[in-house]
Every structure is written in C-alpha cells, then in structure tokens.
Chains A and B, each alone.
Chain A
Amino acid sequence: GAGVSQSPRYKVAKRGQDVALRCDPISGHVSLFWYQQALGQGPEFLTYFQNEAQLDKSGLPSDRFFAERPEGSVSTLKIQRTQQEDSAVYLCASSLGSPDTIYFGEGSWLTVV
C-alpha cells in the first residue's frame, strides 16, 4: 500500500474490555514496530518484529499487552482487560530494515472509560 494503515482510528473501550488494533505495513517492509504515545509525550517503544519473528517486546507494559504478526505482514496489538492508563495513541511503523526509513501510520486513538 501507499502508507502504513491502522484501524480503527478511534476506539472507546469500557474498562475491562479487550481491544485489538490492526496495522497494515507498507508492502514489502520487513520491520514492524508498535509505539505508545501519551498526550504531550514522545512515542514509547512497545515491540518490534522482523518478518513474523517478534525480536523485542521489552516495551510491552504488562502481560495484558500482546502483539502478533503471524504471516510477516499485518500485525495486531491486543490489549486485554483494558485499564484507564492504557488510554493513548498506538502508533505502528514499518521499514525495509534500514534505520533511516521508518514510516509511521496515523495511529489508533484508544480511550478507556
């Protein structure tokens, strides 16, 4: 595709509900990243995939957060039993593998009420 596509763009979840956020990276991009951005803050690293392999998940804040990329293309970030502190923008990014071409999607805005 022309760019990184994320859905849904906006999600309101009730506390305790499970949510799934989808990322469609640029076609052919090997590397895929998830970041969390709170209001007024910079993006915080969550996890990184190289093809289908999750090579770094050191930024996932708790075991309620889970990410997958089963076929090395589309990725899903799942948050179980959402809490208010999970409210943030979740950014997906992809690259061919070189560090200087990381392209971000528009983000999925999650509000937990």
Chain B
Amino acid sequence: EDQVTQSPEALRLQEGESSSLNCSYTVSGLRGLFWYRQDPGKGPEFLFTLYSAGEEKEKERLKATLTKKESFLHITAPKPEDSATYLCAVQDSGGYQKVTFGIGTKLQVIP
C-alpha cells in the first residue's frame, strides 16, 4: 500500500527565514509526486508534479526536488502570504489514477 509521510507537521518561520518541508514516500512504482497548497476552507491548489529522481521544479519562492525515497519543498525567504498547509501526494504507476496524500505540513510565516 502506498504511504506518504510529511514532516514536520507544523512549522513556524519568521518572514525571510528559509526552510524545507519533507515528504517521504513508499510506492511500488512512482508515476508522479505532487505538491499542493491548501488554505483554510479551500480545496488543494496544485503546485508541482515531479516524475523522476533528480528532477527539480521552481515557482516563485518555492522549489521542489525529488529523490528515490523523498521529496523536499524548499521555501526561500518566505512571506506571510506563504502561510498555508502544504500537501504531498503520490501516484502509483500500477494503479489507475488514485493519488495518496500525506497529512500535510502547516506552515505559518510571521511578519
């Protein structure tokens, strides 16, 4: 069974203080690893898809990287508007389109 473990569960940063969120995963074969952002009361908002180890993607202050066992979401010089829960998810190459999510990392950026 696919598993996704995210750490830390919560993270508090000062504005401008860079950090990384971790996503460890177990799948029989990886079709894709996804990062989403979720604001309170909203549905998840798609950020990135990574397909193979060594791949990196960037968007504004966010950069996602992938190894064979984990992914990192690096946040550079965060701003208060980056405060949200960041969800990691994986899709197994053996199944249909089922995507398995972690519980997320709740990020708070303090001005």
Residues of A with Cβ closer than 8 Å to B? Answer: 4, 31, 33, 35, 40-45, 48, 50, 55-56, 58-59, 91, 93, 95, 97, 99-107
Contact = CB atoms under 8 A, between A and B. Distances in A.
Given A56-B96, A95-B97, A102-B99, A43 B87 contact: yes
A87 to B, nearest CB: 15
B65 to A, nearest CB: 16
Interface in B24-65: 31-32, 34, 36, 41-46, 49
B87 A42 contact: yes
B96 A102 contact: no
A48 B98 contact: yes
- Give the dominant DSSP class at B's interface: strand
Nearest to A101: B46
B91 interface: yes
A99 B32 contact: yes
Nearest to A45: B98
Contact of A42 (B95, B97, B98, B101): B101
Given A43-B87, A45-B99, A105 B43 contact: yes
Contact of B49 (A55, A91, A100): A100
B98 A91 contact: no
B97 A99 contact: yes
A100 B87 contact: no
A91 B43 contact: yes
